[in-house]
Amino acid sequence: MVWHPCTQMQTLIEEPVEPILSADGPWLFGENGQKWFDGIASWWTCLLGHRHPAIVQALHDQLETLDHVMLAGFTHPSAVSLAESLVGLTGGALTHVSYASDGASALEIALKQSAQSWRNQGLPHKTRFVCLAGSYHGETLGALGVTDQAVFSEQYRSLLRAALVIDGPDNRRAHCVGVSPQEEAAQALERLEALLKKEGSTLAAFVCEPLMQGAGGMVMYHPDFLRGVRTLCDRYSIHWIADEIATGCGRTGTFFAVEQAEVWPDLLCLSKGITGGLLPLSLVLSSEAIYQVFLGDGVGRAFLHSHSFTGNPLACRAAVAMLDFLREENVLVHNIQRGHWIERALKPLQDSSGVANLRRLGMVFAFDCIEGSGRAKQIQVQAKKRGLLLRPIASTVYLMPPYLLNEETCHWLGETLTASVLETMT
């Protein structure tokens, strides 16, 4: 029997999982003819919808030549092409790519590269990390150490090396206390600098999700915070790790969220949507400065982290096809209009007494249920009856749909969520 993730298996006696037999575009199809819109792109991965023809064709082509080869001692065109494309998208600010399979694995790479690079420079005491309150970076032990969500980490606390935690910026809090998002960001930077002044000599890196903390409740904040992070990390000689697993690949409006702050981290993690959701792949983009300190005689200075399927040709080829399609079809430019259509359809929620903090960042739409997670669950149930699949985070209801939607579908999506909310409020 399958042991399902993020699930208390006991509940499946009364609420069994839903069998999905096929998918097409933004739609999922059940075994009894049901049809649901995938409103969260299957945990934020299927950016172009399911089974996108360009990616499917690329996988067929790749299978004709090479299915897999280990990346230790060998290379292949898809891994090289993907790395070149991603480095190009940073304008050369980040110069090397390490491959893995999932988001948590990418965080493990970034954490280890940061700590080992300091060791390679004769600073072995710089091994601690700083993260934001409410952060989520994955569920392997290293990633859990920089995850500030007890529901995931408490059971393993004795196994973890916990990070230092600061309160980050939150545009919702700014609104509540009557300050601008920029002022909220400045206050968070003051808290970060106070910690760096005290602990900086022992710190390896600061870790954050740029512009939005996803699993923390779609917590959105101003780009000024990232500009300040870059300045402070330089000032106190620590690395900045940008976790763009949820925020990257155009989800926030630019391919990399950090582009909106016009700064670059030392290490940047991608996963989820990088293959359009067709195959698992994650990666870390590293700066030239970090890469250089691993070079030398013998393996002691080398980065020995590896996975059996590191740089799998099929996964890399899917990612290349996804990037090509985004560029050739100007998808992120067209997403501006798609976002406006969905936002317009959600506008009636502003007048709902049970809804707070209606917000949007790129192709992410969210609000908080004043009556808490129970109300969010009711909205999820009502939406499913109307053919829309959601998965609220506590009291936060959100949409992170596939990108390739026409105007009619965008209106249907927003109107269906709105109707589901209003139904539960009456």
pLDDT at site 356: 97
Question: Percentage of residues in the chain with pLDDT exceeding 70?
Answer: 100
Average pLDDT for residues 298-316, to the nearest whole number?
96
275 to 55, 312, 320, 343, 407: CA distances (angstroms): 8, 12, 8, 27, 25
88 contact partners, CB below 8 Å, separation of at least 6: none
Structural domains in the chain plus CATH codes: 9-52+330-425 (3.90.1150.10), 57-328 (3.40.640.10)
When computed from its CA atoms, the radius of gyration of the chain, rounded to whole angstroms, is: 21
196 to 106, 137, 203, 205, 314: CA distances (angstroms): 25, 21, 8, 10, 42
**pLDDT tens digits, 372-404:** 999 999 999 999 999 999 999 999 999 999 999
pLDDT at site 161: 93
**Which one, of 406, 249, 286, 403, lies nearest residue 341 by Cα?**
406
Average pLDDT for residues 127-135, to the nearest whole number?
98
pLDDT of 138 strictly over 90 = yes
pLDDT at site 426: 79
pLDDT at site 106: 98
131 to 114, 170, 241, 407: CA distances (angstroms): 14, 14, 10, 39
pLDDT at site 1: 85
Average pLDDT, the chain: 97
350 contact partners, CB below 8 Å, separation of at least 6: 358
Q: How confident is the model at residue 52 (pLDDT cuts 50, 70, 90)?
A: very high
- Whether pTM > 0.75 for this model: the answer is yes
**pLDDT tens digits, 257-267:** 999 999 999 99
pLDDT of 339 strictly over 90 = yes
Average pLDDT for residues 232-243, to the nearest whole number?
98
The three-point CA angle 321-214-233 to 5° equals 90
**pLDDT tens digits, 91-100:** 999 999 999 9
Question: Percentage of residues in the chain with pLDDT exceeding 90?
Answer: 98
Q: What are phi and psi of 99, to 5 degrees?
A: -105, 150
Average pLDDT for residues 328-343, to the nearest whole number?
98
Average pLDDT for residues 133-144, to the nearest whole number?
98
**pLDDT tens digits, 151-202:** 999 999 999 999 999 999 999 999 999 999 999 999 999 999 999 999 999 9
The three-point CA angle 253-259-263 to 5° equals 160
**pLDDT tens digits, 79-117:** 999 999 999 999 999 999 999 999 999 999 999 999 999
106 contact partners, CB below 8 Å, separation of at least 6: 100, 245, 269, 270, 271, 282, 283, 284
